[in-house]
Structure 1
């Protein structure tokens, strides 16, 4: 019997005049049709669950709620609301909220959410060859869209997938590359011909063993290794133009590229590391002394600024015996957010505010704690709700 491996997701919480009235209005009624703009504005103020219910009321409402104008307006308003957290854990047991199942055991990885959508990859080995399956899921609508198979010359190479969004043309794209850096393909979500297209890349680089890409303002950043110099670099992929650009490591920045976590710092790329009192980069725990943040100020000139945040005295007591990892930087407060590795009974987030030099531990309730499964619980910041349905 084929086994099922699941990824469980949970989260905290064209304009015209309609020519016909709703199904509830009797024929011959003198009531004037309601402008679509007014209906759309009313719907955009409703919570997500109410939108799902309204889709089932009538064909008229369902058609309005599928208008591109409405879905874009809802996404814009969702982005302006208080940000949400998204949690993901790989288990062998289906849980509540939302699950995405793949046949057979393998490696499941979940990327960062991008404007309400998440790209999930499942890799398993069959007869000595690697088989990769990609899917896009929407935690808001619980829709899962399985992508076409990525064709490569050999299945023995690992396939890396990255997910980005172009805010100008409002398009989602998935970028795939082989681990040797020999082949690059891209797929545009929602295009009539949903197929992979080959891309040319003039930067000789291959895959970094610990991929943690991030998309900021239409640019996808990912770590890689220069094939010529064997040094670390960050590759920038412009989602709209589909062009690649390298950012080379210079001086002490090289260590940050190797060990630092990429974060979104006020709409700019940041690299953050943790150091002890001797300046050694290491694990994040009660013995940590400071955080160092590098911020990319100018992409063209490749200019970076750096700042050091010394941790307050209460850090040791608040963290206790927890071993932490970086989650990101809160978009509205610039707080550095961390979470504990392998939470079992209780799950905590830690918020360090460098402006007022405080650290706070917050217990997250409503997150399933599977004691029997020591899987890493991933947490992502600034998740937004998207009600658009994809075919």
Structure 2
């Protein structure tokens, strides 16, 4: 009897051990949906690094659905400048301050995120400006060849050369939210034409496609596109009409249209405003104000306007430097940035409704003393409302 009882106890112990081993094995492997939720809460650098952990993690982080969810996180203000064949990149979270903090100096000892990259090719950011940040990607050019940059993955993609004979080009970056595709569109720089070239990212496309623009027009140095809800907007000059217009490029259908501008005094700057395109000009009857023309109806060429008690350019007496308007945050703040980055350097956030400013000091943007000691400064490029993207090339 004792032997039988002892045997039963041993069997129970073995069963218990097997059960624990099974539980341990099952517990070490989290459900995929829970793993995805955890990865969505990590910084983009960690997500990229964790792709090497396992095939399931790599599959999760490269899935289009995960990438689209990752983009919905809080937008950031991306900053970059070129110095000593390096690209210095920093990002600041765009958070809307409570009203009691306005008109107070706000600074941080370190940007939330920063890094620098060694450039293996020359970049002329000063003459041909980069595009805006469109769903996490930015496009610029080198020797009339478009290059796509993903700041989150720190990767560059050089697109095929244009066999057009165009010496210089103007590039635009668009995003189709229906099919979830980026497209790069190019037209000749400062030369009238009635066709363009289009390249779809992430497709099997090997060369540029020629697309008719329907309207002969030209760009110039100041042309800068803005992509809003699947449409790229940019200013262009139409020769036979002898007038500047707002051109539109539908990213999905690849069709062009033109919209009459509301005023001949419209400034060169196009700014996204509350989900619509806005054109900035100075308000004539105000010394320190701007008028923002907002496109209400593209088909009817209908515009509305708003006047703000905020200067188009702001001179800070305490700092002895001039700040230029670079865009809007998603919270409706104007972003003013110094034309040249030097030590120290600041960003001004203006809330036009209350005519108030807050100042952000760029501390720790780089530790490179050879860069900081340059008294002439560097051109600082600003990309408001930048979202992180895990799109791989």
Alignment of structure 1 residues 153-168 onto 2, 5 Å: 154-156=165-167, 158-168=168-178
Matching of residue 62 in structure 1 with residue 62 in structure 2: no
- Distance, in Å, in 2 between the alignment partners of 1:175 and 1:328 is 22
* CA apart distance, 1:140: 0.6
- Distance, in Å, in 2 between the alignment partners of 1:137 and 1:100 is 14
- Distance, in Å, in 2 between the alignment partners of 1:41 and 1:303 is 43
User: Is the Cα–Cα contact under 8 Å of residues 88 and 110 in structure 1 kept in the other structure?
Assistant: no
What residue number does 1:31 align with?
26
SS at match of 1:339: strand
User: Is the Cα–Cα contact under 8 Å of residues 347 and 367 in structure 1 kept in the other structure?
Assistant: no
CA offsets per residue over residues 130-154 of structure 1, 9 Å max, x none? xx122111111111111111110x2
What residue number does 1:17 align with?
none
- Distance, in Å, in 1 between the alignment partners of 2:292 and 2:237 is 21
Distance change in 2, residues 1:210/1:317 (3 Å): closer
What residue number does 1:151 align with?
163
- Distance, in Å, in 2 between the alignment partners of 1:95 and 1:217 is 30
* CA apart distance, 1:90: 3.2
- Distance, in Å, in 1 between the alignment partners of 2:364 and 2:177 is 32
* CA apart distance, 1:294: 1.0
SS at match of 2:363: coil
User: Is the Cα–Cα contact under 8 Å of residues 336 and 352 in structure 1 kept in the other structure?
Assistant: yes
Q: 1:99 aligns with which of 109, 112, 117?
A: 117
What residue number does 1:384 align with?
387
* CA apart distance, 1:337: 1.3
CA offsets per residue over residues 161-187 of structure 1, 9 Å max, x none? 110111111100000112322430100
The structure, 1 or 2, with the larger RCO (C-alpha pairs under 8 Å, 6+ apart) is 2
User: Is the Cα–Cα contact under 8 Å of residues 85 and 119 in structure 2 kept in the other structure?
Assistant: no
What residue number does 1:23 align with?
none
Moved more, 374-383 or 235-244: 374-383
Q: Which has the higher helix share?
A: 2
- Distance, in Å, in 1 between the alignment partners of 2:133 and 2:242 is 31
- Distance, in Å, in 1 between the alignment partners of 2:211 and 2:134 is 22
Count of residue pairs the alignment pairs up: 335
Q: Normalising to structure 1: TM-score of the pair?
A: 0.78
What residue number does 2:70 align with?
74
What residue number does 1:115 align with?
135
What residue number does 1:300 align with?
299
SS at match of 2:270: strand
CA offsets per residue over residues 252-309 of structure 1, 9 Å max, x none? x1211xx241111000001123457x55xxxxxxxx5112111111111111111212
* CA apart distance, 1:379: 1.2
User: Is the Cα–Cα contact under 8 Å of residues 111 and 162 in structure 1 kept in the other structure?
Assistant: yes
- Distance, in Å, in 2 between the alignment partners of 1:384 and 1:341 is 24
User: Is the Cα–Cα contact under 8 Å of residues 173 and 189 in structure 1 kept in the other structure?
Assistant: yes
Alignment of structure 1 residues 159-238 onto 2, 5 Å: 159-178=169-188, 179-238=191-250
User: Is the Cα–Cα contact under 8 Å of residues 205 and 227 in structure 1 kept in the other structure?
Assistant: yes
Distance change in 2, residues 1:274/1:359 (3 Å): farther
SS at match of 1:40: helix
User: Is the Cα–Cα contact under 8 Å of residues 231 and 249 in structure 1 kept in the other structure?
Assistant: no
Alignment of structure 1 residues 135-150 onto 2, 5 Å: 135-150=147-162
Aligned alpha-carbon RMSD (Å):
2.6
Distance change in 2, residues 1:190/1:104 (3 Å): closer
User: Is the Cα–Cα contact under 8 Å of residues 164 and 218 in structure 1 kept in the other structure?
Assistant: yes
SS at match of 2:48: helix
- Distance, in Å, in 1 between the alignment partners of 2:350 and 2:359 is 9
CA offsets per residue over residues 108-150 of structure 1, 9 Å max, x none? 6322111111102113xxxxxxxx1221111111111111111
Matching of residue 347 in structure 1 with residue 345 in structure 2: yes
CA offsets per residue over residues 47-70 of structure 1, 9 Å max, x none? 223212311222332222222222
What residue number does 1:285 align with?
none
- Distance, in Å, in 2 between the alignment partners of 1:53 and 1:379 is 26
SS at match of 2:45: helix
* CA apart distance, 1:27: 10
- Distance, in Å, in 1 between the alignment partners of 2:318 and 2:291 is 18
User: Is the Cα–Cα contact under 8 Å of residues 128 and 141 in structure 2 kept in the other structure?
Assistant: yes
- Distance, in Å, in 1 between the alignment partners of 2:193 and 2:363 is 42
Q: Normalising to structure 2: TM-score of the pair?
A: 0.78
What residue number does 1:52 align with?
48
